[in-house]
Amino acid sequence: MASDSHNGSGWPQVTFVALAVLAVGMVFLWPYLGGGRPAPPASAPAPRASLVAASDDSREVLIQAAAQAAEAAVSGRWEVIVERARAAAAAGPDRLRLFVWTLFTAFDALESGEQQTALRAFFETGRDVRFSEVFTVGRGGWLMDWPTLRVALLDYVAQRDRELARELAIKILQVRPEEPGEWSLALRELVRDQHAGDWSSLVRVRVREFIHDKEWSTRGSASWMEGFDVVVAGASPEMLKDLATLSADGTSRPARFVAFLTADRLVMAAPALCLNELNADPTLFSASTGVRAGLYARSDVRDPAQRAALERYFARDDVGPGERAQFAAAFPQLSAAPTHRLLTEPVVRPATEVRAAEFATLARLREWIDSGRFPAWAGTFAELHARLTTRGSGSSTSAPETAEPAIATP
């Protein structure tokens, strides 16, 4: 690694870095000079574009500060990058984003070996700078806003060097950092493309510690709540018991909210498995029957496994009138809001598929009503049938040729 002297091995490259970030150009810096908000950097280094003159001195100072921070990183002087980052955070959110994106571009200009050495050295220092409480997930699960400098740099590493990101993630979870955003990103890298059954023992322990942390659940920060997407990505019902505990009375309001949201999305990720688990253990969400009703309302009757699980739910004797009413208010509910998450993609079905599911549901409702199999649900079924029939009659969409197209069973 280069020394602090300008004669060190990193200085010619850092000089290039300074010039490069000052000429990042229309594509990268123009949004901060009056245009819209930029997209996060791609997995490859950001392209260099034509020179754009800074519109005010303060922006130019921030760009130069980012270049100086990269120089300091090569020289192992992390106190400099901490100082520059703290000054950028004090300048406001827009200027902070400019600093961070420019810092990323400055690191891109370094050779791979120098970049890795510098970033490893930073995380080993344990130093950090608090930016804000904002933790904004953008396209592809990459962050657009960062609560701390360490979170920003960990997200940067994950986009450029997955192997290094996993190495850092293991070390982070071994020492249990205080910032939930670090846990969220570290867990993201260690569970990526893995089913929960394949999680390491370290990940399994830390996931449970993470979601049950009393301080973070009380604060309800976005960096903690977004981390629950790790559970959804695991696509396993084994975490339902933990989510049911969090959703019970006595926990914090943020914890109850994120527990319901996560359970809802987990059922969408592994519907038949989760619905069967809910039937196998009647205590799950027994203290939050409205949540339980909403989870069963995710059932798609076109899938034989989901339909069988739903019929077991109808036959249970622990489902009261209030829960049946809450189920009727939501069923069938097969799509989710199209929001960006750390690991998973939202389940958003086109209108034609939603209508196909509703036609299939109408047919099943008529079957259940005519058979009289679930007498306690007779009124609920009649209400649902009337609502869906009314909705269908007011639509120009005709019934599909095949009312129950086959779908894969998870």
Q: Is the pLDDT of residue 339 over 60?
A: yes
- If pLDDT is split at 50, 70 and 90, which confidence band does 407 have? very low
Rounded to an integer, the average pLDDT of 71-96 is 87
**% of the chain surpassing 90 pLDDT:** 62
- If pLDDT is split at 50, 70 and 90, which confidence band does 392 have? low
Q: How far apart are CA 189 and CA 142, in angstroms?
A: 12
- If pLDDT is split at 50, 70 and 90, which confidence band does 69 have? confident
What one-character-per-residue DSSP string does 201-231 give?
A: HHHHHHHHHHHT-HHHHHHT-HHHHGGGHHH
99-155 pLDDT per residue, tens: 999 899 889 988 889 899 999 999 998 999 999 999 999 999 999 999 999 999 999
Q: Please name the residues in contact with 202: beta carbons below 8 A apart, sequence gap of 6 or more.
A: 170, 173, 174, 190
Rounded to an integer, the average pLDDT of 270-274 is 97
217-232 pLDDT per residue, tens: 998 899 999 999 999 9
Adjacent-strand bridge partners of 249: 251
Which residue type is seen at 184?
A: S
Q: How far apart are CA 194 and CA 221, in angstroms?
A: 26
- If pLDDT is split at 50, 70 and 90, which confidence band does 56 have? low
Q: Residue 334: what pLDDT?
A: 86
Domain boundaries, the chain: 1-127
Largest CA distance in the chain: 87
Between 64 and 228, the higher pLDDT residue: 228
- If pLDDT is split at 50, 70 and 90, which confidence band does 408 have? very low
Q: Residue 74: what pLDDT?
A: 77
- If pLDDT is split at 50, 70 and 90, which confidence band does 338 have? confident
* Structure-token pair, residue 128: 């950090």
147-to-108, 175, 258, 325, 406 alpha-carbon distances in Å: 22, 19, 19, 41, 45
Q: How far apart are CA 132 and CA 112, in angstroms?
A: 30
Q: Is the pLDDT of residue 391 over 90?
A: no
177-188 pLDDT per residue, tens: 889 999 999 999
Q: How far apart are CA 236 and CA 61, in angstroms?
A: 49
